[in-house]
């Protein structure tokens, strides 16, 4: 049983749902990334998704794209990211998952990347640009190491393909709530509840919903059908303001924001 499996098992015992923030590694720097992760976990986050900056993001909206650009311009390296996460992991009660392009994994070598990530205390990876037809080798590497390989399913994924993806996924399924890119939205599609309900009947894996979630009303709408909710752009946008405000003030604002969403999950 992986660290991610244990988190969802404990949450199910108590009828709770997971809150998973997304943070871009190295924006504005790795020291602040570490502080943000610690703040979010202290406020009740159950897992943390850490974005590995990449020059050609697949489905990221302008807020996350800009954060990747800022980190890359400062010369952020994968090794330094994993070193920072490795320093956090021993004292962090919430598993960390990397959002990483397959080109980065491939360049390092599949076994080498997974081994390095696991040595740093990372529990799994989300690889958004790896199609299911080409994922078998990485899936096997991850399975051998009990390292979760999270797969994405979107509103436009045909149902037969969704079943194939669910069969290969481990850890949890990342259900993309909207068609398009990441970013804060005022409203989410009304049919998402029905779509996730169908998927829940097809797989025993936890289903976490992401893209567009930024408001308590979104959380109240989705928490009843999801095992977890992922919030990214709204947090990354607040982190970007670190350049214009005292860092402790930004940390407190991010923590308060996350705490409000977590509270809404229990309403």
**What is the token pair recorded at 258?**
């996350």
Catalytically active residues are: 49, 60
Phi and psi at residue 24, to the nearest 5°: -80, 125
Q: Is 203 exposed, middle or buried (CB count within 10 Å of its CB: 0-12, 13-18, 19+)?
A: middle
Rg over CA atoms, the chain: 17
Q: Which two tokens stand for residue 86?
A: 């490795």
Asked whether 19 and 261 are in contact (CB, 8 A), the reply is yes
Rounded distance between C-alpha atoms, residue 73 and residue 67, angstroms: 10
- 266 Cβ contact list (under 8 Å, min separation 6): 16
Sequence-separated (6 or more) residues with CB below 8 Å from residue 96: 37, 47, 48, 49, 50, 85, 88, 89, 121, 122, 123
| β strands within the chain, DSSP E | 18-24, 48-51, 96-99, 122-126, 148-153, 173-176, 207-210, 228-231
Check if the beta carbon of residue 172 is closer than 8 Å to that of residue 227: yes
Which SS3 state, helix, strand or coil, does residue 178 take? coil
């Amino acid at each position: 049983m992986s660290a991610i499996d244990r988190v969802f098992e404990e949450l199910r015992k108590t009828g709770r749902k997971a809150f998973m923030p997304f943070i871009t590694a190295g924006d504005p720097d790795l020291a602040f990334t570490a502080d943000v992760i610690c703040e979010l976990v202290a406020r009740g986050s159950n897992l943390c998704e850490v974005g590995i900056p990449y020059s050609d993001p697949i489905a990221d909206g302008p807020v996350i794209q800009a954060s990747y650009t800022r980190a890359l311009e400062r010369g952020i390296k994968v090794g330094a990211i994993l070193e920072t996460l490795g320093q956090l992991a021993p004292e962090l009660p919430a598993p960390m998952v990397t959002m990483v392009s397959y080109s980065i994994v491939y360049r390092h070598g599949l076994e080498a990347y997974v081994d390095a990530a696991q040595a740093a205390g990372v529990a799994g990876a989300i690889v958004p640009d790896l199609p299911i037809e080409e994922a078998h080798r990485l899936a096997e590497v991850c399975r051998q190491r009990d390292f979760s390989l999270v797969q994405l399913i979107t509103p436009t994924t045909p149902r037969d393909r969704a079943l194939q993806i669910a069969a290969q996924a481990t850890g949890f399924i990342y259900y993309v709530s909207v068609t398009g890119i990441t970013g804060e939205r005022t409203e989410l599609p009304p049919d998402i509840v029905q779509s996730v309900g169908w998927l829940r009947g097809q797989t025993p894996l936890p289903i976490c919903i992401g893209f567009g979630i930024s408001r308590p009303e979104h959380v109240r709408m989705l928490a009843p059908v999801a095992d977890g909710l992922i919030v990214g752009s709204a947090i990354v946008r607040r982190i970007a303001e670190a350049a214009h405000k005292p860092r402790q003030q930004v940390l407190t604002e991010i923590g308060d924001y996350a705490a409000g969403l977590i509270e809404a999950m229990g309403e």
